Amino acid sequence: MIDFKCHRLSNGLRLVHHYDATTRMVAVNLLYDVGSRDEHPTKTGLAHLMEHLMFSGTKHVEKYDDMLQRAGGDSNAWTNIDFTNYYCILPAHNLETALWLESERLLNLNLTQQNIDVQKSVVVEEFKQRYLNQPYGDVLHLMHGLAFEQHPYRWPTIGLDIETIKGFTASDIHDFHDRFYNIGNLVLSISGNVDFHSAVTLVEKWFGDIEPAPSARRSLPQEPQQQQPKFLTHHSDVPNNMIFKTYHMCGRCDHDYPATDLLSDVLGNGLSSRFYKELIQGTDLFAEVDASVLGSRDPGLFYIRARLPQGVPFDAAGDAINKVVHRLITDGVTNEELDKCVNKYMSNKLFENVGYAEKAVALCCHELLWGAGGINSENENYRAVTTSDIRNVAARVLDDNNCSMIYYGPDA
């Protein structure tokens, strides 16, 4: 159990606090309810660019990182399809410095044309390095573009292409910032060696007089149910041929999410998984096979990924994967398999949230999705999953008509 307290400012800002006496440090985490799903199809990559621009300085602070480092702190951020997260870690007695800097860049971000041009160049280079010049770097573009037709998950967080990033105007960026970077769209957590009263007092001091704002309203297009299999071949000069399969599944807050997540573990997580025992040990067709879930807020994807040794035909490997999947749907899973996966999930969750900084992120995410209390009830949701739940989810999700498959590699 993670002990925490919540406080809501009069302007709507949500604060979640966790006290940890075992450290002299404190983590400040700010989760903005904005990700690449909030972009217009002609302006993809804007959420990620905005993350970079948040480190460009403000009207009163030339360099955010320099000021934080003087207080003994460090910071970073990440953007995904659903959220943008900023965090900093510093000595507990310097908490006020972090809160001052965060309120400053929320209110007075220095979005000059020079800063915009610099950060666009940085993001373009990141796009080239990670997605264009990296083996298999374009896989995410291909998988999501094939699986999704309407929902904005069809493009990755980095954006669809470089030219779109280069073409963002100052007006595009200001409009995006004004819409999503406000008190109503923010959850703040403080975790570490600072008591609740002190945390509330300082948050009220630096955020309490900020004008209230409603959370962003959305009307995202819903993805229609897939009615037939989709298939794509993609030739690329990479070391190995690979098979990528995606299936539409529920979102992170759905009742069936724990069962679907555990299904991916039964199939592809660890040396006792179905894929390892039946495909890696049981055949010579695979160098690697795994399964995972996107874990997205809206209905997302269930992934199967396989790397093939040289000379193995795509169709033979694909048929072998299908046999394992169809056998699981027909026969179900054993109690031993399910118990092992549940225990592994709970163990991983315990280690993921072992530190005060990790707790800060997790508390923000849970507060935004369904309330911070969800961080202590999630284990029970996984314990409640039955073998029948796994089988039912498998039959619904791993349906051939719900599958999008890519043959990717030098032989495609």
Residue 411, token pair as written in the block: 């032989």
The pLDDT-based confidence of 152 (bands split at 50, 70, 90) is very high
pLDDT of residue 167: 97
Number of H helices, E strands in the chain: 15, 11
d(CA 198, CA 221): 43
State the average pLDDT over residues 217-228.
Answer: 94
Q: Which helix (DSSP H) or strand (DSSP E) does residue 294 occupy?
A: none
State the average pLDDT over residues 24-35.
Answer: 98
Strands 25-32 and 186-192 turn out to be antiparallel
pLDDT of residue 1: 86
pLDDT of residue 32: 98
pLDDT one-digit tens code per residue, 34-78: 999 999 999 999 999 999 999 999 999 988 999 999 999 999 999
What domains can be seen in the chain, in order of their start residue?
Answer: 5-207 (3.30.830.10), 230-409 (3.30.830.10)
**Contacts for 98 with CB less than 8 Å, ≥ 6 apart:** 26, 28, 68, 71, 73, 88, 90
pLDDT one-digit tens code per residue, 331-385: 999 999 999 999 999 999 888 888 999 999 999 999 999 999 999 999 999 999 9
pLDDT of residue 351: 82
Residue type, 103: S
The pLDDT-based confidence of 263 (bands split at 50, 70, 90) is very high
d(CA 81, CA 111): 23
Buried residues in 365-386 as b, exposed as e (16+ CB within 10 A): bbbbbeebebbeebbeebeebe
pLDDT of residue 353: 82
pLDDT one-digit tens code per residue, 162-209: 999 999 999 999 999 999 999 999 999 999 999 999 999 999 999 999
pLDDT of residue 215: 84
